[in-house]
Structure 1
Amino acid sequence: MYIVYSLMCLIFGTTFLAIKIGIDAGAPPFLFAGTRFLLAGIIVLTSVKLMQGRIGLEPGMRKDVVLVGTFMTAVMFGCLYLGEKYISSSVAALLAATTPIMISIVEWFQGIRDHFRIKGAGLLLSFIGVGVAVLPALGIDVGTEAILAVVVILAAEAGCVFGTMTSKRVLAAGLDPFVLNGWQMVVGGSMLVLLSLVTEPWAGVVNNRIFVSWAYLIVFGSLAGHGSYYWLVRRAGPLLPSTWTYISPVIAQFVGYCVLGEYLSGYSFAGLALVLGGVYLVSRAAMLEQWLKNNGKAFGLFKKESSPELRQ
C-alpha cells in the first residue's frame, strides 16, 4: 500500500510542473485540462470493458458519479489550470495541501473521530511543513491576478472535499474504483471541453511542449495517478490518500526549480522533514495511539482506573 502511495505522490508532484509547462507554452487552460481527462477517461473505461466486460452504473450511483466528476475534475482542475497562468507550480501545489485538513474537519462533524488527536497533530505538522517549504516563494507571485488565482484554487479545493466524500460513499457501495475513475474523467473532461468551446480560442494551440506535457498528464497523471488514488481511497479511506497534497508541494518545488528555475532554498529541506513526519502520524495513528496508551500508563501520562473498592 505504501509503495502505491509513494508512486502516487511522485506522479502528482510532477503534474503541477507539467501543467505549468503546457500553460506557459500557450495552451488554453480549459481545453488543455478537458481533452486530457476526456481521453484518459475513455481509455480507462475501454480497458475495463475489455478486461471485465462491465462499465455501466447502477441508477442510484449515476448522480453521485456526476457530482464526483463535476467537483473533482471539472471544478478542481479547471480552476487549477486557470490559476497556474498566474502563479508558480509550487505555490499551486501548496494550495492543494488544504484538502486533507478540510476532509478531517468534515469527518469530525460526521462523527468520524477515531485517533483524531494524532491525525490532527499530523495534519497540522504537515501543513506547517508545506508552509515552511513553499510560502517564501509567494512573495514572487504577489499581484492582483495571483491573489485571484489563489482564491479560485482554494474555492475549488473546498469543492474537492465534497467530491472525495461522495466518492468514498460510491466505492463503499461496491463500484469498481477504475470504473469510477473513468466516468469521473469523462464527465469532468466533457464539461471542461464544452466550457472551452464558449470561452477560449482554439487556433494555433498545439506545439511540442504542449503535446509532451499533455501526453504526460494523460498517461501518468490521469491513468496511473488517479487510478492509484481511488485504489487507496477504497483500501484506506479518504484521509491518507489525500495527504498526497502535503508531499507533492515539496516535490513540485524541487522539479520546478530544476526545470523552470522556480524558488528553492534551505526552507524546502526543513519543510520536507516536517511534511514526512506529519504524514507518518496520519498513516500510523492507530498504532501510535495504542503505544501511547501502553507506555503512558507506565510513565503516569494516563490515569489508572481506581479499584471497585475505592469507587465505593
Structure 2
Amino acid sequence: MSNLGLFGLMALIWGLTWAAIKIGLDAGVPPILLAGLRYLLTAGILAFWTHGALSAFAEGRSMRVIISALLTNAGTYGLLFWGMQTVPSGLSGLVNLALVPVLLFGLAVVLGEERPTWRHGLALVLGCTGLLGLFWTRLVEQESGNGLGLAAIVAGTACYCVGSVIARPLIGPIKPLTLTAIHAVLGGAALIAVSFLLGDLSATLPARIDVAPAAASLLFLSLLGTIVAYTIYLRLLEKWGTARAGLYAFISPIVALAVGVWLFGEKVGAAEIGGAALLLVAAGLALSRRDSADPARN
C-alpha cells in the first residue's frame, strides 16, 4: 500500500477508536477496567514482537519509564474513558485529537524547546477559546455530567502531552515498539489496580457485560487502534516527517464526529461546531511549525 493509502487507513482507524470505546462502555464494561484490559491485551500481543524489555529500565531510566507510563497510559486513558460516559464519542475524539498538538506546542515554549512567536500565542488563544465554547454549551444546558466528562477528557489529554515530553528521551535508547509494550504493561496494571479499588471487579460483573461487543471493542482498540495504526505512524514519521504525518489531527476528528452522528445519533450543535473549528485551526498552527518528532500515540 502507498504511503498515502497508509495515512488514510491510520486516520480512519484513529477516528473509529472513539466509537469502539463507546461500544465497550455501552456493553457494560466499567471505563477504568476497559482501559486497563485494552493495554494488557496490547502488551500480550506486542510480547511476540518485542525483546529486551528489561534493558529499558537500565542506565537510570526506570523512573522516567514508570512516570511516563502512568501518565500516557493510565492517567490519559483512565480519564478519557471515564469522561466518555457522559461526553459524545465524536466530541471526545475531536477535543483529544485536536488539543494534543496545541498542548505540545505550548509545552515546547514552556520548556524552552522553541522560542515563542505569534503562532504560539494565536494557537493557544484559539485552542482555549474553542474549549471555552464547548464548555459553555454544557453550562448553559446545565449538563454538569457532560461538563465534568469534558474536563476529564481535557485533563487526560494534558496527561498524555506531559507524559510524551517525559518519554521523549527514551525514544532512541529504547525501540518504539518495546517502549509501547512496557507502557502498556505498566499502564494497564495500574488501571486494573484502580478498577479493583473502585469495586469494578465484583462477582456480578460478568452477568452485566454484553460479551460480544465488549470483546470486539477490545480487539479493535488493541490490535487496530494501537498496534496497526501506531506501526503505520512510525513509518510515516520516517517517510514524511512529523508535520505531514501529524495531519491525522484534522481527518480523524471528522471521522469521529461523523461516525458518532451516524452510529449513535449524537447531536452536534452550532456552538460545538464553532468550538471544534477553532480547535482545528489551533492544531493547524501548531502542526505547521513542528519540527521535532511527535511522541507516538499509543
2:53 aligned partner: 55
2:105 is aligned with 1:107: no
For structure 1, the residue ranges without an aligned partner over 5 or more in a row are 288-312
Opposite residue 48 of structure 1, the aligned amino acid is T
Does the residue aligned with 1:47 lie in a helix, a strand or coil?
Answer: coil
Question: 2:87 touches 2:149 (CA, 8 Å); kept in 1?
Answer: yes
Structure 1 CA distance for aligned equivalents of residues 169 and 150 of structure 2: 29
1:169 aligned partner: 169
Opposite residue 111 of structure 2, the aligned amino acid is Q
Structure 1 CA distance for aligned equivalents of residues 276 and 6 of structure 2: 20
2:196 aligned partner: 197
2:222 aligned partner: 218
Does the residue aligned with 2:48 lie in a helix, a strand or coil?
Answer: helix
Give CA deviations for 1:162-186 in whole Å, capped at 9, x if unaligned: 1110121211x43211111111111
Opposite residue 222 of structure 2, the aligned amino acid is I
Question: 1:130 touches 1:249 (CA, 8 Å); kept in 2?
Answer: no
Opposite residue 101 of structure 1, the aligned amino acid is V
Does the residue aligned with 1:46 lie in a helix, a strand or coil?
Answer: coil
TM-aligned CA deviation for residue 160 of structure 1: 1.6
Question: 1:70 touches 1:188 (CA, 8 Å); kept in 2?
Answer: yes
Match 1:13 to one of 7, 12, 15:
15
Structure 2 CA distance for aligned equivalents of residues 266 and 143 of structure 1: 17
Give CA deviations for 1:24-64 in whole Å, capped at 9, x if unaligned: 12111122111111111221132123xxxx33314222222
2:45 aligned partner: 43
Structure 1 CA distance for aligned equivalents of residues 290 and 185 of structure 2: 37
Number of residue pairs matched?
280
Question: 1:257 touches 1:263 (CA, 8 Å); kept in 2?
Answer: yes
TM-aligned CA deviation for residue 190 of structure 1: 1.0
Q: 1:241 to 1:268 in 2, by over 3 A?
A: farther
Q: Is the deviation greater in 27-36 or in 6-15?
A: 6-15
Give CA deviations for 1:221-267 in whole Å, capped at 9, x if unaligned: 12123444566678856x87677555433221101111111124788
Does the residue aligned with 2:78 lie in a helix, a strand or coil?
Answer: helix
2:157 aligned partner: 157
1:87 aligned partner: 87
Q: Identity percentage over the alignment?
A: 24
For structure 2, the residue ranges without an aligned partner over 5 or more in a row are 292-298
Q: 1:4 to 1:62 in 2, by over 3 A?
A: farther
Q: 1:46 to 1:62 in 2, by over 3 A?
A: farther
1:292 aligned partner: none
2:259 is aligned with 1:255: yes
Q: 1:250 to 1:131 in 2, by over 3 A?
A: farther
Structure 2 CA distance for aligned equivalents of residues 143 and 229 of structure 1: 37
Give CA deviations for 1:272-312 in whole Å, capped at 9, x if unaligned: 8877766555444489xxxxxxxxxxxxxxxxxxxxxxxxx
Opposite residue 179 of structure 1, the aligned amino acid is T
Structure 2 CA distance for aligned equivalents of residues 160 and 85 of structure 1: 19
Structure 2 CA distance for aligned equivalents of residues 165 and 113 of structure 1: 14
Q: 1:280 to 1:150 in 2, by over 3 A?
A: closer
Q: 1:225 to 1:271 in 2, by over 3 A?
A: farther
Question: 2:36 touches 2:189 (CA, 8 Å); kept in 1?
Answer: yes
Q: 1:114 to 1:91 in 2, by over 3 A?
A: same
TM-aligned CA deviation for residue 71 of structure 1: 0.6
1:294 aligned partner: none
Question: 2:31 touches 2:81 (CA, 8 Å); kept in 1?
Answer: yes
Does the residue aligned with 1:174 lie in a helix, a strand or coil?
Answer: coil
Match 2:32 to one of 30, 33, 56:
30
Opposite residue 26 of structure 2, the aligned amino acid is D
TM value normalised by structure 2: 0.76
TM value normalised by structure 1: 0.73
